[in-house]
Amino acid sequence: MKAKKRALILSSAALMIALASLLIWRFWPRSAPEYAPPARDPLAASAQDFPADLPTLRTDVYDVSLNPDLQVDGQGDCEILFNNPARNGAHLMLDVRLQESNLLIYRTGLVAPGEGIRAIRFVTDALAAMQAGAQPVTLTVYSFALETY
């Protein structure tokens, strides 16, 4: 009888420890991940109707085409023609920064192979930071493996 009572007490204790561990694991605060992958860009659509003569940058990983004559109108609209050719094996994302201050003025979401972004609209803060006339910008293209998304 003593052995049964002892076994019951030990199994109850083991069950309580397991339950407490499960509750601690479930409700313990977790920190946010260091890196959150970007979302797909809602402006991305088929790039089949983009001009065929857009200049193309070729790298070991991907090709990318852009409008060489970026102009922003008074509303902040810019025909960028950012193209991720269908032959690419990567999603692409584009940053546009003012060269002088390195201020990020636009960032696309992910653009899948075969898709592109025809036009973007700069936010009011970006327009305020830009000066009238020609403004040099730095364009940075990031690539993301297709398997990741």
Contact 85, 45 (CB under 8 A): no
Of 72, 78, 146, 147, give the one whose Cα is nearest residue 108. Answer: 78
Provide the β-strand partners of residue 97. 104, 138
- Phi first, then psi, for residue 23 (nearest 5°) are -65, -40
- pTM of model > 0.75: no
Phi, psi of 126 (to 5 degrees): -65, -40
Point out the residues of the chain with pLDDT beneath 50.
Answer: none
Q: Are 141 and 92 in contact (CB under 8 A)?
A: yes
What is the spatial distance between Cα 108 and Cα 40, in angstroms, rounded to a whole number? 9
Q: What is the pLDDT of residue 8?
A: 78
CA distance 98 to 125: 12
For residue 92, the model assigns a pLDDT of: 93
1-26: pLDDT as tens digits: 677 777 777 788 778 887 878 777 77
Radius of gyration in angstroms for the set of CA atoms belonging to the chain, rounded to a whole number? 26
Tens of pLDDT, residue by residue over 50-60, are 888 888 888 88
| pLDDT at site 34 | 63
At residue 67, the pLDDT reads: 83
